[in-house]
Amino acid sequence: MRHPWVAAGLLLAALPAWAGAPGLDEAVMQNIEAVNESLSSNLGLKAADAAAADARDLDQLFAEVEAYFVARADAPDAVDYTRRSRQAAAGILRAIEASKFDAANELAVDISRTCKTCHRKYKAD
């Protein structure tokens, strides 16, 4: 039987590093990616309840990222990116409530673009 610490060490070694970001849980970023993909799918299917749940989940995940970058105090752009993403998530909820799935999808695409912009600036290679 393998020792559980070996598996844990391999898992930690496999996680990508964030520039100067000890304390930022990589699982949060992975969850954002997964939920954003789910959101896109649910918006395409016009599955309002599932898409709304995804938008709420994104808001909570981005709140964690925002808190991290606020505490870090040297990444004002990242704080702005997370706040814009949270505003977009709120806009997605409003669009879904109004059955404006095209508008909700445009906001979801904006979130993806914002993520890419932040990653280019703050994610280590």
pLDDT tens track for 11-63: 333 333 344 445 677 899 999 999 999 999 999 999 999 999 999 999 999 99
Angle between helix axes 76-97 and 101-122 (nearest 10 degrees) is 170
For residue range 72-109, list pLDDT tens digits in order: 999 999 999 999 999 999 999 999 999 999 999 999 99
- Predicted confidence at residue 22, as pLDDT, reads 54
25-122, CATH topology level: Four Helix Bundle (Hemerythrin (Met), subunit A) (1.20.120)
Q: How far is CA 41 from CA 17, 27, 48, 109, in A?
A: 28, 21, 11, 12
pLDDT (0 to 100) of residue 9: 35
